[in-house]
Amino acid sequence: MSNQSNTQFPVVSIGQVPLHAVVAEHTGSMLSLNGKSGVGKTEIGKKIAEAIGYEFDPKLHVKNFCGASPVEGTGYGVPGEWDDDLGSDIDMRFSVPEGLPTLAKYGDRKIVFMCDEFSNWDPTLQSLALGAMTPVGFPKKWGPHDIAPNVFFVLTSNRRSDGSRQSSVLSAPNVARCLTLVIEPNLKETLEHFAVDKDLSDSAHWKFLSFVQLGNVNGNTTGALDAEKLFAPDPVTPWDGMPYPNPRQHERVCMATMPDSPLMDDTLFNHEARKTNLSGYLGPDAGAEVASWIAVMADSVENAKAVLAGAASFPKDTKSIYGTMMAAYRLTKMMLSGMTQAQRLAAVKGGDVDDFVNRIMLVPEAKEYCAWLYEMAIREDKDKNSAIPLDVHPMAEKMQCV
């Protein structure tokens, strides 16, 4: 997904950042993270801290001076008093800007401190910050303020190509103090993050993205679905303010398409209203695709019941195939709901899900899709102990299409 302007930069996925942060901390460097809005640059602070053994609290250790004047960066001047130790009359002192990781506040504690959207800060403020981002062994200063010695600085930036309104190019002195990386979104990592860390795998959108990922891996499996276009395309140039897909918006759409969400209530939202809402998050192309997926899922329930009962044939066209498979999967999950893990294992081994296996997973038309659905069932079972443990079924190997 890298565009031409990215090729000169080292490119990583969000999941690879903590590993590189270990090296940056070891060498006394800052870490500069560049990339599209919504890829998780700010949120990665917690995992960076875990990797290097530092503290990080997003409420305390993220500072954004975008739109701030230089005086807000140094602190406002307050009248000074006679200092007996110095033997002098100090005419002016400076208040400490809120949130600054000063020596007086943190001492020797090890802190990850994130300068968010750093490239959009006033150039004077960027220069001011350089004093705090010194090599190992030099005192750290932020204007007149002493900075704690064990602060690991992370700079996040959006470039012009990422839809930033400014040029977003750091000065050479900033770059010379940094390990600089460009983050490109990764669909597989994002799905795992949403499922494991966010508990969003029950959402219709998560399942849609997992199907897009299948096509991304297996080639033309998803037909007309373009993973790059639907997941995290580059913003339009010149930037026009149009909503577009990115991981942060995908997370919100996953939240909006959980089973108990208002957006999924058909008494509140018809297809067009749902498409409008989703397009406001993801733009018109991806929004329409997700709305279409949800509609197919809803329309497939009755057909899935008939196929499971042996009263209807398995469909032939792509959307109906994955619609029927997903609806049948949900119906089978509901049948096992309320059971303990031991009971579900016994039910699968004992043949209680054989209709699902034989009439859904193992029909020839499902060949391209069964491994995807099998992996999703196993992952959900592992994460939540509430899905279908297909790995204990006698036909588990065939369901993996190996």
Residue 25 confidence (pLDDT):
95
Mean pLDDT, the chain, whole residue set:
85
Are the CB atoms for 250 and 209 separated by under 8 Å? yes
* Dist CA 160 CA 165 (whole Å): 7
Tokens for 118, please give them.
């750093």
Q: Between residues 239 and 332, which one has the greater pLDDT?
A: 332
Model confidence band, residue 80 (pLDDT cutoffs 50, 70, 90): low
* Cβ atoms within 10 Å of 265's Cβ, excluding its own: 11
Query: Cα–Cα distance between 249 and 187 in angstroms, integer?
Result: 13
pTM score, two decimals? 0.75
| pLDDT at residue number 92 | 66
pLDDT of 142 over the 80 cut? yes
Please compute the mean of the pLDDT values over residues 231-258 and round it to a whole number: 90
Which domains, from first to last, does the chain contain?
4-184 (3.40.50.300), 188-399 (no CATH)
Model pLDDT, residue 54: 97
Q: State yes or no: pLDDT of 383 exceeds 70.
A: no
What Å distances lie between residue 240 and 148, 187, 228, 236, 237, CA to CA?
Answer: 41, 25, 20, 7, 8
Q: 10 Å Cβ neighbour count for 139?
A: 11
Residue 379 confidence (pLDDT): 73
The pLDDT, as a whole number, for residue 85 is: 62
Give the pLDDT of residue 220. 44
Residue-wise pLDDT for 90-102, tens only, equals 666 778 888 899 9
- The band of 210, judged by pLDDT with boundaries at 50, 70 and 90, is confident
Contact 111/152 with Cβ under 8 angstroms? yes
Q: What is the mean pLDDT of residues 364-393?
A: 78
CB-based burial of residue 391 (10 Å sphere; 0-12 exposed, 13-18 middle, 19+ buried)?
middle
pLDDT at 170: 80
Q: CA-CA distances (angstroms) from residue 301 to 260, 270, 306? A: 17, 17, 9
Question: What is the structure's pLDDT at 4?
Answer: 45
Percent of the chain with pLDDT over 70: 88
Taking the CA atoms of residue 194, residue 195, residue 196 and residue 202 in that order, the dihedral angle to the nearest 10 degrees is 130
Contacts with 393 (C-beta within 8 Å, 6 or more apart), sequence order: 348, 349, 353, 357, 399
pLDDT on residue 219: 46
More confident residue, 21 or 235: 21
Kindly report the length of the chain. 402
* Nearest by Cα to 249 from 199, 221, 286, 222: 286
Give me the pLDDT at residue 401, please: 66
| pLDDT tens, position by position, 103-130 | 999 999 999 999 998 988 888 888 888 8
The DSSP secondary structure of 43-101, one letter per residue, reads TTHHHHHHHHT-B--TTTSEE--TT--HHHHH--EEE--EETTTTEE--EEEPPPTT--
Q: How confident is the model at residue 262 (pLDDT cuts 50, 70, 90)?
A: very high
Facing residues of 181 across strands? 33
Average of per-residue pLDDT across 145-157:
92
- Average pLDDT over every residue of 195-211: 88
